[in-house]
């Protein structure tokens, strides 16, 4: 009976690894690559050691030593990819200390042949003012990569 109570108490106080965002969705333009930030935190104040393994050759992490401890932000890098009508999909496997299971973080990369530069414009205006914000421009860019077939 005492073993059962100890196991139940341990389960109530078990820490979990919180990963955000999960799933990870990335949008990029053809042949340019991209980066995204992934945050790792513990559900308690006790640090959790973890490692991240990408399941695709075109996906990489900023973890230089192979593992890290919470709290931690890591950078996920996507290699330049050709445009595709459907997203590239894969996963990041995350292994954490004290757990026999792994976390699966789905990754979806949407690659477009059309891009906008800059991707955002910011205008500041005070309501009722006769002074309007300066004009800004944005350019559409369509990337093509041709391959000569023999």
Alpha-carbon distance of 42 to 17, in angstroms, equals: 5
H or E element in which residue 52 lies: strand 49-54
Helices (H), 28-133: none
pLDDT one-digit tens code per residue, 67-86: 899 999 999 999 999 988 89
Q: How confident is the model at residue 139 (pLDDT cuts 50, 70, 90)?
A: confident
Domain ranges across the chain: 13-125
Percentage of the chain lying above the pLDDT 90 cut: 47
Q: Which CATH number fits domain 13-125: 1.20.1050.10, 3.30.1490.190, 2.60.40.10, 3.40.50.2300?
A: 2.60.40.10
**Strand, helix or coil at 113?**
coil
Percentages (nearest 5) of helix, strand, coil residues in the chain: 5, 45, 50
Alpha-carbon distance of 40 to 28, in angstroms, equals: 23
Which pTM was predicted? 0.69
Q: What is the pLDDT of residue 30?
A: 87
């Amino acid at each position: 009976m005492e073993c059962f109570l100890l196991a139940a108490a341990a389960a109530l106080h078990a820490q979990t690894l919180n990963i955000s965002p999960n799933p990870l969705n990335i949008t990029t333009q053809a042949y340019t690559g991209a980066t995204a930030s992934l945050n790792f935190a513990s559900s308690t104040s006790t640090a959790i050691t973890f490692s991240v393994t990408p399941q695709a050759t075109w996906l990489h992490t900023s973890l230089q030593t192979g593992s890290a401890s919470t709290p931690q932000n890591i950078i996920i890098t996507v290699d330049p990819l050709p445009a595709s009508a459907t997203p590239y999909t894969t996963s990041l496997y995350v292994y954490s200390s004290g757990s026999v299971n792994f976390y699966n973080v789905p990754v979806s990369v949407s690659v477009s042949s059309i891009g906008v530069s800059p991707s955002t414009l910011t205008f500041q205006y005070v309501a009722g003012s006769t002074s309007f914000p300066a004009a800004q421009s944005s350019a559409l860019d369509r990337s093509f990569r041709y391959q000569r077939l023999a």
